């Protein structure tokens, strides 16, 4: 192998591209992990270094600063306007319509029973709604079940909330939905909007969106919810934060209410206010 054929290290590659000043060293990686923990309660593992590098490098370039150290100084500056973008950059937002469908099947059964009894609208909280697919899936289930609903959708990431609240998506985002669902719940774009779909007004009337950090010491005062979705979020929280979150959700749920969590999560299992009632679903016990 000739000298010119030898594989180059990531550092050498970046230096060749003019990004040597932006390399993420151990000190700045630790600092970024500390800041996202302080601002969002997210505990990033050491294995997330490449993710942090790639996402923050875009912010380094966008702000025209010369290094990660300078960028993190900007994030920490008093009255910083970059802090929100920093949190948004390190927030993972993986979602889809009707993701983990067993939760929506359970919700449909509850909603249909509520509709038959003529009870008030079902109050549901999508507590980490990302770009909105979870909240709008909830709205579809309620509409199909003939159940009135009041859906509160929140997320820490202001950027994804803007997408969620508009309810407009590329057509490929809904390609796996049944044709009858597409026709019932979406409007297809035409002309300049071809290739896009938007949520119908009947669903929009059910949902409201707001920014919220689940690790914030205080949440806005709310009536109790009948169902809370908190899926694939607490994997970024430590054990004590998970316990505190379970207790707070217990206080926010009506007796008999449901808490839906992610496929790899079980943080409500050890709390006396919850009992398992199916795969990654927990019911708020009345006692």
Could you give the residue numbers annotated as active site?
Answer: 55, 155
Whether the CA torsion 202, 151, 127, 72 is positive or negative: it is positive
β pairing state of 122-126 and 281-284: unpaired
Q: Are 164 and 137 in contact (CB under 8 A)?
A: no
**Whole-angstrom Cα distance, residue 232 to residue 146?**
29
Q: Are 108 and 137 in contact (CB under 8 A)?
A: no
Name the residue among 46, 47, 48, 58 with its Cα closest to residue 22. 58
β pairing state of 186-188 and 253-261: unpaired
Long-range contacts of 162-166 (CB under 8 A, 24+ apart): 163/131, 163/132, 164/129, 164/130, 164/131, 164/132, 164/135, 164/209, 165/132, 165/209, 166/198
Residue-wise over 10-42: b if at least 16 C-beta within 10 A, else e? eeeebeeeeeeebebeeebbebbbebbbebbbb
Q: Are 115 and 142 in contact (CB under 8 A)?
A: no
């Amino acid at each position: 192998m000739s000298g010119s054929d030898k594989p180059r290290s990531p550092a050498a590659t970046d230096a060749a591209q003019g990004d040597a000043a932006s390399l993420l060293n151990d000190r700045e990686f630790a600092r970024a992990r500390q800041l996202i923990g302080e601002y969002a309660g997210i505990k990033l593992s050491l294995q997330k270094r490449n993710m942090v590098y790639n996402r923050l490098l875009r912010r380094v370039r966008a702000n025209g600063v010369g290094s990660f150290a300078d960028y993190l100084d900007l994030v920490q500056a008093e009255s910083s306007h970059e802090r929100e973008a920093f949190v948004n950059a390190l927030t993972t937002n993986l979602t889809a319509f009707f993701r983990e469908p067993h939760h929506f099947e359970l919700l449909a059964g509850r909603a249909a029973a509520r509709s038959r009894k003529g009870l008030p609208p079902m109050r549901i909280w999508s507590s980490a709604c990302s770009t909105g697919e979870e909240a709008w899936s909830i709205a579809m289930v309620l509409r199909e079940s003939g159940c009135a609903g009041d859906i509160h959708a929140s997320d820490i990431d202001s950027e994804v909330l803007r997408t969620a609240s508009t309810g407009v998506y590329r057509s490929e985002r809904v390609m796996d939905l049944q044709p009858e669902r597409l026709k019932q719940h979406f409007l297809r774009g035409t002309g300049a909007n071809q290739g896009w779909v938007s949520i119908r007004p009947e669903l929009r009337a059910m949902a409201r969106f707001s920014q919220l950090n689940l690790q914030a010491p205080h949440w806005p005062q709310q009536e109790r919810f009948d169902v809370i979705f908190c899926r694939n979020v607490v994997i970024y929280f430590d054990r004590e934060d998970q316990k505190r979150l379970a207790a707070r959700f217990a206080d926010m749920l009506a007796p008999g209410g449901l808490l839906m969590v992610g496929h790899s999560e079980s943080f409500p299992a050890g709390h006396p206010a919850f009992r398992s009632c199916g795969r990654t679903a927990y019911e708020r016990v009345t006692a």
